[in-house]
């Protein structure tokens, strides 16, 4: 969870999915490890042959139950404004599918320039490189891989499944407690000429 706190929405969708499928799913456990693709999480609860259909059902339910209850993470609007104030662009590159990512951006009123969905880990690197990203902010160790693959500085926030120390151990260039620390870090960053 970098810009949006999606835990309550995701938990609500998993709870509904559990009811519809008749399969117990611990939504608290699910939201404690957000980041990897939906199908990977569903594989923890369902036989392999049922995962794709369950993912389709999840995506059907999500816009109605998940998106409306998303909230902005503390510091999200200020982080976006800090980048914009320096002439930079804000690009969201997420594992969430594009429709739901755009829905979240809209519901929260996040002033972003572009949204790229359905990419995870190093696969995010091509989008980051395409947009010429100088830095990539994420909350997962896979986001560190994404930044590296895209030639960007890896800025992490400990608002997902990893602590700041764990993110540093995995090679993050910068590890912040949360987004409220981003604007101050960004103001002191020396690579403003690279911000696009």
Q: What is the CATH number of the domain that holds 8?
A: 1.10.150.240
- Reported as a single tens digit per residue, the pLDDT across 90-113 is 999 999 999 999 999 999 999 999
Among 26, 41, 69, residue at a domain's last position = 69
Determine the 3-state secondary structure of 113 from DSSP: coil
Say which residue the tokens 């569903």 belong to: 42
Are 23 and 80 in the same domain?
A: no
Domain tally, the chain: 2
Residue 57: give the domain boundaries: 4-69
Determine the 3-state secondary structure of 171 from DSSP: coil
**pTM assigned to the model:** 0.92
Are 95 and 167 in the same domain?
A: yes
Q: What is the mean pLDDT of residues 25-52?
A: 97
Instruction: Please tell me the distance from the alpha carbon of residue 140 to that of residue 26, in angstroms, as a whole number.
Output: 21
- Cβ neighbours, 10 Å, residue 193: 8
Among 69, 96, 119, residue at a domain's last position = 69
DSSP per-residue codes, 47-89: -HHHHHHHHHHHHHHHHHHTGGG-EEPTTHHHHHHHHHHTT--
Are 95 and 186 in the same domain?
A: yes
- Reported as a single tens digit per residue, the pLDDT across 41-94 is 999 999 999 999 999 999 999 999 999 999 999 999 999 999 999 999 999 999
Are 140 and 181 in the same domain?
A: yes
CATH at residue 169: 3.40.50.1000
Q: What angle, 0 to 180 degrees and rounded to 10, lies between the N-to-C axes of helices 98-108 and 48-65?
A: 20
The closest alpha carbon to 9, from 86, 77, 64, belongs to: 64
Are 109 and 59 in the same domain?
A: no
Are 92 and 182 in the same domain?
A: yes
DSSP-derived secondary structure letter, 33: T
């Amino acid at each position: 969870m970098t810009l949006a706190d999606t835990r309550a929405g995701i938990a609500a969708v998993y709870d509904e999915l559990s009811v519809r499928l008749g399969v117990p799913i611990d939504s608290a456990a699910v939201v404690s490890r957000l980041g990897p693709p939906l199908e990977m999480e569903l594989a923890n609860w369902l036989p392999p042959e049922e995962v794709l259909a369950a993912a389709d059902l999840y995506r059907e339910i999500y816009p109605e139950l998940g998106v409306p209850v998303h909230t902005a993470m503390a510091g999200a609007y200020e982080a976006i404004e800090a980048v914009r104030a320096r002439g930079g662009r804000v690009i969201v590159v997420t594992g969430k599918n594009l429709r739901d990512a755009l829905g979240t951006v809209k519901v929260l009123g996040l002033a972003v320039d572009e949204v790229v969905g359905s990419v995870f880990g190093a696969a995010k690197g091509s989008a980051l490189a395409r947009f010429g990203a100088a830095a990539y902010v994420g909350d997962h160790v896979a986001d560190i891989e994404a930044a590296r693959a895209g030639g960007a500085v890896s800025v992490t926030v400990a608002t997902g499944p990893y602590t700041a120390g764990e993110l540093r151990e995995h090679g993050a260039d910068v590890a912040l407690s949360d987004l409220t620390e981003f604007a101050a870090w960004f103001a002191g960053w020396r690579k403003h000429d690279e911000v696009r």
